[in-house]
Amino acid sequence: MKRVLHYLKPQSAKVALQVTIKFSATLLELFLPWILEHIIDVVAPQKDLGMLAMWGTLMLLCAVAAFLGAVYANRMAAKIAASFTRSLRHSLFEKVTALPSEKIDGFTVPSLISRISTDTYHVNDMVDRMMRLGIRAPILLVGGLLVCSLMEPVLTLILVATLPLLGGLLILISKRSIPLYTKAQQCAEELVRRIQENMTGVRIIKALSKEEVEKERFDDASRNVIETDQRAEITMAAANPLMNIFLNVGMAVVIVIGAFRVDSGLTEPGKIIAFLHYFTILLNGLLGITRIFTLCSKGIASGNRVGEVLDTPEKILSVSDQIPLKNAYISFENVSFSYNKIRENISNLNFTLDKGQTLGIIGATGSGKSTVFQLMLRFYQPDKGTIYLEGKPLNTYRKEDLHHKFGVVFQNDFLFGDTIKNNIDFERTIADEARVKAVSVAQAGFINELEEGDETILAERGMNLSGGQRQRLLIARALAADPEILLLDDCSSALDYRTDAQLRKALKAGFKHTTTLIIAQRVSSILFADKILVLDDGKTVGYGTHDELLKTCEHYREIYLSQMGEEAA
């Protein structure tokens, strides 16, 4: 929570000004009952209309000043809280995008979405209300007690007697409510996950007629959120009626004792009236503190969750300068990795690749092909072994410098709901010549046949294009920045054999200095590669050229014959 509140530091001057204005306005509000008491007990008996008008005017001015000061301070609080939340959300979003993939897996995407949206909202609400009620309520409470003690020490003892009971009640309720609000946020994450799954898989849900099943799952998640939130709200809601009972009993006692004191001549009626006003002020102050506890319960629970993300280290390992440099452009040496740290997804992987060469990677589903790319991009750190790039260990590169070297097409990549041109450019200020070349090499000439060309607006995820068109557009995006290393993860599966062959030929001619790694399910997509890596269950079962593997790797030969036929052998 301390890490979150650190984002208020840049606005400390504004906060100090807001606190000063709010403090002054609240003091003026406290001054009003005292003026009323003075008018009733001192000015009115003198029957001096001039004095009465003067004190009445003073009371009016104080009321107006208190009102205007409170309004201005509240507006400042809203602006400060909004600026604070904007800065917090920006840093949180920046942190999430920089987190290693294993950390994102640990938090889960729905949880991170909830922390960026709902949790930051609760923190914003807490900061905003603390600058309003957090200043006003304690001043009303403490200041009211102080004035009451000076005005009527005997009656003040009745108020003081109720405070320990009220304080203990608030502490007890807040201790029970904070864990409940944390649990409510976790249930909200599950609801977000359900929504994401349904939105992403809406077509398959409809195709399999599983709408009713998904409705039930959504209802279960929604019900959990409601029930958990209700338990937290009911716990906090108990504060108001319990406090009212204590305070109303105290007020009744004050009225009875006050009446006896007036009748005995020990005090004046104006003091009793002013005292009852202060009692009301104290009641408002305590109710304000109750609301503060409610908001703080939510805000602290959410702030702790946001702080967990902000405090998460990126965990980039340092490498000794004594590790010798390698001659190969890309080199994997005894690399092993496991996502869950139980069963290895990649085991003792070794291969080298010179600049400008092409490596094809093939194997069954789940054999570890895509994991090679995840490690190359340093989304994950190897558990064992070292990856070298340009002779240097991969984790000695700055992340920005490393990623600028790559052009990537993932297996389940995405397109924005924007123009084709902007999807290819991707905010990289790509020159027109480079974009035209990338479109040509990617065999994405269909763009020129569209009515609006590259200014055509794509639907979300590019759903107004065919599968093959989406893949070619994604390849064009990867090529547009003329990358040093091109990673293609099964990105030609929707292309016909002719277009696939034309793509390979154009890549070799137009990007001959680019080092390319291709993951493929079709042997025909990697026949031309300088080296082919065959994986099975995370282990290397073959490595060499196509001709070498046909002779030495039975696993590769079986794949080849199953796809190309016996005649091809």
User: How many other CB atoms sit within 10 Å of the CB of residue 399?
Assistant: 14
From residue 261, how far is each of 252, 275, 282 by CA, in Å?
A: 14, 13, 22
Q: Give the pLDDT mean for 490-503.
A: 85
Secondary structure, 3-state, 404-419: CCEEEECCCCCCCCCE
pLDDT > 90? residue 341: no
In single-letter form, the type of residue at position 88 comes to L
Q: What radius of gyration do the chain's Cα atoms show?
A: 35
Query: Which candidate, 45, 1, 527, 561, places its Cα nearest to that of 268?
Result: 45
Query: Rounded to the nearest 5°, which phi and psi values hold at 408?
Result: -135, 140
Place of tokens 């009748």: 263
pLDDT at 100 over 70: yes
Q: Is the pLDDT of residue 567 over 60?
A: no
Computed over every residue of the chain, the mean pLDDT equals: 83
317 has a pLDDT exceeding 80 = no
Is the pLDDT higher at 544 or at 205? 544
User: In angstroms, rounded to a whole number, what is the distance separating the alpha carbons of residues 502 and 505?
Assistant: 5
Q: Position of tokens 């001959």?
A: 512
517 SS3 class: strand
Report residue 387: phi and psi, to 5°: -110, 130
Measure Cα distances from 199 to 192, 193, 203, 433, 459 in Å: 11, 10, 9, 38, 15
For the cut 50, the answer to whether the pLDDT of residue 205 exceeds it is yes
pLDDT value at residue 441 = 92
- Which string of DSSP letters, residue by residue, matches 162-221? HHHHHHHHHHHHHHHHHHHHHHHHHHHHHHHHHHHHHHHTHHHHHHTT-HHHHHHHHHHH
What's residue 198's pLDDT?
A: 78
Instruction: Tell me what the mean pLDDT of segment 221-235 comes to.
Output: 81
Which pLDDT band, with edges at 50, 70 and 90, does 145 fall under? Answer: confident
Report residue 325's pLDDT band, with 50, 70 and 90 as the boundaries: low
CA 141 to chain centre: 37
What CA–CA distances, in Å, run from 153 to 150, 166, 375, 379? Answer: 6, 20, 74, 69
pLDDT at residue 156 greater than cutoff 80: no
Paired tokens of 183: 């649990």
One-letter amino acid at 291 equals R
Q: What band does 437 get if pLDDT is binned at 50, 70 and 90?
A: very high
Give mean pLDDT, residues 114-130: 86
What's at 18, amino acid-wise? Q
5-9 own/partner pairs: CB under 8 Å, 24+ apart: 5/303, 7/84, 7/87, 7/88, 7/91, 8/80, 8/84, 8/127
CA 469 to each of CA 245, 282, 411, 457, 503: distance values in angstroms, whole numbers, following the listed order: 70, 70, 14, 14, 13
CA distances from 290 to 173, 246, 283 (A): 10, 14, 11
pTM above 0.75, yes or no: no
What phi, psi does 537 have (nearest 5°)?
55, 40
What pLDDT does residue 360 have? 93
Per DSSP, what are the bridge partners of residue 408?
487
Tokens of 475: 């390849």
Residue 50 pLDDT exceeds 50: yes
End-to-end C-alpha distance for the chain, whole angstroms: 66
In this predicted structure, what is the pLDDT of residue 467? 85
The percentage of the chain sitting over the pLDDT mark of 90, rounded to a whole number, equals 22
Interatomic CA distance for residues 405 and 515, integer angstroms:
10
The rounded distance, in Å, linking the Cα atoms of 112 and 116 is 6
3-state secondary structure of 420: helix
Q: What share of the chain is helix, strand, coil (3-state, %, to 5)?
A: 70, 10, 20
Q: At what angle do helices 269-310 and 211-237 cross, to 10 degrees?
A: 140
pLDDT surpassing 80 at residue 412: no
For strand 346-353 and strand 330-337, is the pairing parallel, antiparallel, or unpaired?
antiparallel
- Asked if residue 270 has pLDDT above 80, the reply is no
In angstroms, the Cα distances linking 430 to 50, 503, 541 are 80, 21, 41
At residue 239, the pLDDT reads 67
Name the residue among 375, 390, 380, 377 with its Cα closest to residue 316: 380
CA neighbours within 13 Å on the CB side: how many for 95? 22
C-beta of residue 362 within 8 angstroms of C-beta of residue 84: no
pLDDT band at 321 (very low <50, low <70, confident <90, very high): very low
> Mean per-residue pLDDT for 281-297?
73
pLDDT given for residue 322 in this prediction = 47
In 311-443, which ranges are continuous DSSP H helix?
Answer: 369-376, 399-403, 420-425, 432-441
Strand partners of residue 489: 519
Residue 41 has pLDDT above 60, yes or no: yes
Distance CA 110, CA 191 (A): 8
2-24 as b/e, with b when 16 or more CB fall inside 10 Å? ebbeebbeebeebbeebbebbee
